[in-house]
Amino acid sequence: MVKVLVVDDELDFCNSLEEVLSREGYRVIIATSGREALEKVKTERPQLILLDIRMPEMDGIQTLERIRQIDKQVVITMVTIVKDTKVEQRTLKLGAVNYITKPIDLDLLKRSIHGWATKVEVQQLEEVDIIALDYDEKKFRTILDQFRKKGYNIKSIENKSSELDLAEGPFDLLILRADLLGEDTIRVLAKYKQAYPGLPVMIAVEPESVKELIDRIKRYGSCKYLPPSFDANGLIMVIYRMVSKAKEKKEIREEKKPSDYILIVDDEPDVCEYTGKFLANEGYKVSSVTDSKAVLEQVEALKPFIVLLDIVMPDVDGLELLKKIKKISPQTQVIIITGLKDESVCRESIELGACDYIVKPFSLDQLKVTVLINSIKSHLN
């Protein structure tokens, strides 16, 4: 989460911006004087600063100079009532990146902050891999060189015949020159999407071919489009945003990805032990719980890829427990294993998210096959 420091001697103004920016997903810190701002820069290390000029004791220009001595990388935008070209030019020379006058246009401010915040987030990424099919285009190569200097791994293919071959990834972004590839665009796109299904794609297209091309591309998922006469600075910001979003989605998927545990939930210790030993011998990691009150805690801690759940247990509604398990860990496959042979209960458990229903007594071969099938399903999700 990007930290934004709002520096203004008007507390109401600070509180209003805090409310607006917090809703946008930023962590907002407030300082009502230049001296307080310097302390917050040292202790909180914000990535973005919104800085007023007219403040008592230490004004915004003095504060800006002192901040730059502490942190040369932080992004500083002047947000002030002072409408003076000379003052604006001086702040930009001292290291501010933008100058916005009050009363502020909130949409403009949010767009500005979002752009710089995206850049900050991407710069913090440890590794970024971009593949660009960009032959015969000086401007594109110049832009990609900027990303190389920031430590990104750029694979730039400039030979048209080589672009038709699949490059070895994975990648965080594919930049595809459809205006130069022509009819080969779909073939190349299909190859990369098949090999790397979640790969974000940016496509440069001729304006007259946009609709037809987009209609053909839709089957391969969403892409960003830009005209061949793109603005360099705009393209750089779009690349930042696409890479940042792709990394964020990847992190979310990895956080939600189940572990390699099977959790057995049954109030009968003998059943847990018997079933657990069998599955352990089959090569699975197994944990069990007999206390219904501890089930959700175990699911939260282990994020098992499969739960074997008995729905007839004391002090708990098994179907209600099933709903809670799926809420905590949606990707976990829940297999009902119960002595209750009831079609309506079986139907309801499947509707609530169970993937299978086994009635006791069951054979070990039946359990083995059921677990194997649902194990495959779990790891394909």
Q: Which of 205, 229, 256 is the last residue of a domain?
A: 256
Same domain, 65 and 156: no
Same domain, 327 and 292: yes
Q: Distances from the Cα of 32 to the Cαs of 36, 60, 272, in angstroms? A: 7, 11, 61
Same domain, 329 and 348: yes
Same domain, 206 and 309: no
Same domain, 288 and 236: no
CATH number of the structural domain spanning residue 347? 3.40.50.2300
Same domain, 271 and 150: no
Q: Could you tell me which residues are beta bridge partners of residue 130?
A: 154, 173
- Whats the size of the chain, residue-wise? 381
Same domain, 160 and 108: no
Report whether 172 contacts 128 (CB < 8 A).
Answer: yes
Q: Could you tell me which residues are beta bridge partners of residue 29?
A: 5
What is the value of pTM for the model shown?
0.42
Report whether 229 contacts 155 (CB < 8 A).
Answer: no
Which pLDDT score, from 0 to 100, does residue 239 have? 72
The gap from C-alpha 308 to its chain's centroid, in whole angstroms, comes to 31
Query: 238 is in which domain, residue-wise?
Result: 126-256
Say how many domains are in the chain.
Answer: 3
The upper half-sphere exposure of residue 325, i.e. CA atoms within 13 Å in the direction of its Cβ, equals 37
Which pLDDT score, from 0 to 100, does residue 252 have? 47
Same domain, 169 and 148: yes
Q: Distances from the Cα of 59 to the Cαs of 55, 80, 115, in angstroms? A: 5, 11, 27
Same domain, 245 and 293: no
Which pLDDT score, from 0 to 100, does residue 192 have? 83
Q: What is the CA radius of gyration of the chain?
A: 28
Q: Which of 256, 279, 299 is the last residue of a domain?
A: 256
Q: Could you tell me which residues are beta bridge partners of residue 316?
A: 313
Nearest to 33 by CA among 69, 76, 62: 62
Same domain, 266 and 308: yes
Q: Which of 217, 239, 256 is the last residue of a domain?
A: 256
Same domain, 251 and 273: no
Which pLDDT score, from 0 to 100, does residue 171 have? 80
**For residue 206, which amino acid is it?**
E
Helices (H), the chain: 11-23, 34-44, 60-70, 85-93, 106-124, 138-149, 160-163, 178-181, 185-195, 210-217, 232-256, 269-281, 295-302, 318-328, 343-351, 364-380
Q: Enter the tokens of residue 129.
A: 């891999």
Same domain, 225 and 242: yes
Rama region for 31: left / alpha / beta (φ>0; ψ in -120 to 50; rest): beta
Q: How does pLDDT run along the chain (381 residues), one tens digit per residue?
A: 789 999 999 999 999 999 999 888 889 999 999 999 999 999 999 999 999 999 988 999 999 999 999 998 899 999 999 999 999 999 999 999 999 999 988 888 888 888 788 777 656 555 566 767 655 556 666 767 767 776 677 777 766 666 567 777 778 788 887 777 777 888 888 888 878 877 888 777 776 666 677 777 777 766 677 776 666 666 666 677 677 666 655 554 445 556 678 999 998 999 899 999 999 998 889 999 998 888 998 888 888 889 999 988 888 888 989 999 988 888 889 999 988 888 899 999 999 999 999 998 888 889 998 888 887 766 555
Distance between CA atoms of residues 70 and 72, nearest Å: 7
Phi, psi for 98 (deg, rounded to 5) = -155, 160
Q: How many CB atoms lie within 10 A of CB 279?
A: 21
